[in-house]
Structure 1
């Protein structure tokens, strides 16, 4: 009996991990095996000291067509609840990864695909990307929490209630994507971003991610305390001196010094 094709691919190269959704036969729809593999991969990457950046992308013309509703045929309510918990565990594993996670999307993003992207640190989208959150139209509930925290409550409700397709330009304006690039430039842009992140001091990068995430959950005064704790940890590590020396010897450092 032949082994089933994995729903998610993983490759490592020079400090960067590439996580690729690969259920092209189902337009990369999220099913239970994909949830379990995503959770396993991101937990492993979080503990991998050799990985400094993660790129999450998808094969084929569609990033993710949402949840695979076909797998629910013949299942009872208990199975559906367990399946939804598995998806939340997968999103959480992505969001909790201490390495910067950059998403690249090349086409339509539906439902659960948006949840995956919103679990990442930021999204680089091709100009062929669209977004849709049709969960209520499918008779279910989803994307009610991350979406409103990303684009605001009223805008989230409008997208969820109508199920309309949102163009990438609007997604950029709402803060759902960080940058739009031509489709033919997506791979090169992502590679450049990942290389730049991987070249930075890993502790400073991890602490920056942690400080931003924790700071977003509190007020400014407490956020400053979070940042100061991160600064103190960086200083205690001692690696900040190497970073300072690299900056001073770089073109950018010399230009900054001349100002």
Structure 2
């Protein structure tokens, strides 16, 4: 458990689960939860053997957005401090060097979307819903990550109207990469995590780095980033062993198909 008790960490071998733990408040994001998310990912950064993170939530709701109750009686300076801390939390999630999967059930609102979109991708229940009502609440938010995933026009429509988007539409738009029946959500994420963790850890980290860094530059520069990663892989990993293991696994799969 982190300092404020709003986020819980569960370590299981190379997998860490980061769990939003305010179910009584529908996991609404408040300042202590922002601080706990920062702390959780700082702890993960210091764990040398971690290969994957699953970010999920307790209860029926992933995150009901910002906890507006904590703003009562606050001044503008406090609100700006709180928002900057939230952005720091999102940045910490996004800066994690290993794959981070968001496991979403129930409602995802506002800041909950920022948390989930900071992960590498979202696996969601078909019963989940998505809403970005910041303008309707008299504030500004989700203007940057959302447009980069669903496009400028669709992001504007979702933010201007604050409408509830069902899971099927979120999947079509690419906000959700994998959609599952509610009862299969945990198993689907577990299977996906297990498959990801079969890859050598350094290969995963360098692949994530290349995609993230390459998305912010032109193709030629992106290729240079990938070549630098390959050079590091050849000098720091057992790449010959990886080739042998991959070849053996292909042979096993072929025999199973013939059988």
* TM-score normalized with structure 1 length: 0.94
For residues 34 and 135 of structure 2, the distance between their equivalents in structure 1, rounded to whole angstroms, comes to 21
Q: Deviations over 1:62-82 (max 9, x none)?
A: 100000000001111000000
Mapped to 2, the partners of 1:54 and 1:102 lie a distance apart of 6
Q: 1:14: Cα distance to partner? A: 1.7
User: Aligned-pair distance for 1:238?
Assistant: 3.2
Tell me if the contact between 1:132 and 1:164 (Cα under 8 Å) persists in the aligned partners: yes
Deviations 1:191-228 (A, max 9, x none): 11112222321110000000000111112121111111
1:96 aligns with 95
Q: For 1:140, what is the secondary structure of its paired residue?
A: coil
**2:19 and 2:57 in contact (8 A); partners too:** yes
2:254, 2:224 → 1: CA distance? 31
Superposition pairs for residues 127-166 of structure 1, below 5 Å? 127-166=126-165
Identify if the C-alpha distance between structure 1 residues 253 and 211 changes in structure 2 by more than 3 Å, giving closer, same or farther. Answer: farther
Distance 2:251 2:191 in 1: 18
Distance 1:151 1:252, change over 3 A: farther
Q: Distance in 2 between matches of 1:239 and 1:72?
A: 53
Which residue of structure 2 lines up, in the alignment, with residue 188 of structure 1? 187
Quick one: distance in 1 between partners of 2:192 and 2:42? 22
How far residue 5 of structure 1 moved from its aligned partner, in angstroms, is: 6.7
| Correspondence list, 1:216-231, <5 A | 216-231=215-230
SS of the residue aligned with 2:197? helix
In 2, Cα distance between the equivalents of 1:109 and 1:25?
Answer: 15
Q: State the match for 1:121 in structure 2.
A: 120
Aligned partner of 1:73 in structure 2 is 72
Task: State the shift of 1:38 in Å.
Answer: 0.3
Contact 1:100/1:206 (8 A) holds in 2: yes
**Where do 1:105-120 residues align within 5 Å?**
105-120=104-119
Q: Distance in 2 between the 1:5 and 1:252 partners?
A: 50
Deviates more, 1:208-217 or 1:238-247: 238-247
Residues 230-249 of structure 1 mapped to structure 2, 5 A cutoff: 230-249=229-248
SS at match of 1:250: helix
1-structure distance, mates of 2:79, 2:160: 22
State the distance in 2 between where 1:253 and 1:218 align. 40
For the structure 1 residues 19 and 238, does the alpha-carbon distance in structure 2 shift closer, same or farther, using more than 3 Å as the test?
A: closer
For 1:26 and 1:74, the matched residues in 2 are separated by 20
Which runs of no fewer than 5 residues in structure 1 stay unpaired? none
- Given the superposition, is the C-alpha separation of residues 254 and 18 from structure 1 closer, same or farther in structure 2, using an over 3 Å criterion? closer
State the secondary structure of the residue aligned to 1:224.
helix
Partner of 1:62: 61
Partners of 2:221 and 2:251 in 1: CA distance: 32
What residue in structure 2 maps to residue 20 of structure 1? Answer: 19
